[in-house]
Amino acid sequence: MIVLLPTSHVARKSIEAIERAIESLRPDAVAVELDMDRYIALSRGYESRIEFNAAWPILYIMKQIQQAIGRKAGIMPGRDMLEAVKNARNKGLPVMLIDQHISITIGKIAKISWTEKLKLLGFIAYSVLLSPFSGDSIDLSKLPEGRLIEKAQLTLRIHFPQLNKALVEERDLHMARMLEEQAQKHKNILAVVGAGHIQGMKEMLRKRHKVQIYRY
């Protein structure tokens, strides 16, 4: 069985859920949404350096927004994945880094058309300017509600299809394939991934494997 645990990368409730899941499910192995380079950078507290290329404007703004949210939540983005690795190793469990290498993802984002890049930058600027007046309040300490995740995914698919393919769909496929490989070695796997990847990975994996989503 493969159990998918959705996380918000800055949510304290996600970190707590990871610990509970490892303790209660007693999986044979734990998989996390990281590649080796990102794991090393996070574990050593390195700042991810963004190289100046065609992907730079998008990546830079996304990084600044993520860091601002992390400061507001009081949790470093990515700490959920580090906690999953730490808890798994404390239990003597194998840890698998299943994400596509970050350089491949950046390369794909760099190839997005400038029309879509400019549209995205305009959307981000509009959202940031509008947010103080929207009246919406999101509790950063916990996983966003399912309807909010679905709304964000729908927006990405409809308005930014190239970015969605590079940032979500292709990584979903890569991580699902990695889990399928590991499922031949481990009977029960707990996979800790961002909430935006859950639905796509579930649909890919359920064709050959029993898949559950860990709810909290």
Counting Cα atoms < 13 Å in the Cβ hemisphere of 150 gives: 3
pLDDT (tens digit per residue) in 83-140: 999 999 999 999 999 999 998 999 999 899 999 988 988 888 777 665 544 445 566 6
| Band (186; pLDDT cuts 50, 70, 90) | very high
pLDDT (tens digit per residue) in 144-172: 667 778 888 898 899 999 999 999 999 99
- How confident is the model at residue 70, as a pLDDT? 64
Tokens representing residue 109 in the block: 């984002």
Strand order in the sheet with 189-194: 95-97, 29-32, 189-194, 2-7, 211-213
Average the pLDDT over 47-64 and give the result. Answer: 65
CA distance 137 to 95: 35
Higher-confidence residue of 187 and 150: namely: 187
End-to-end CA distance of the chain: 19
Average model confidence (pLDDT) across the chain: 86
Percent over 90 (pLDDT), the chain:
56
CA distance 122 to 125: 5
| Band (1; pLDDT cuts 50, 70, 90) | very high
- From 214, 210, 206, select the one nearest 187 (Cα to Cα): 210
Distance set, CA 65 to CA 44, 48, 61, 128 (Å): 21, 14, 6, 9
CA distance 183 to 28: 10
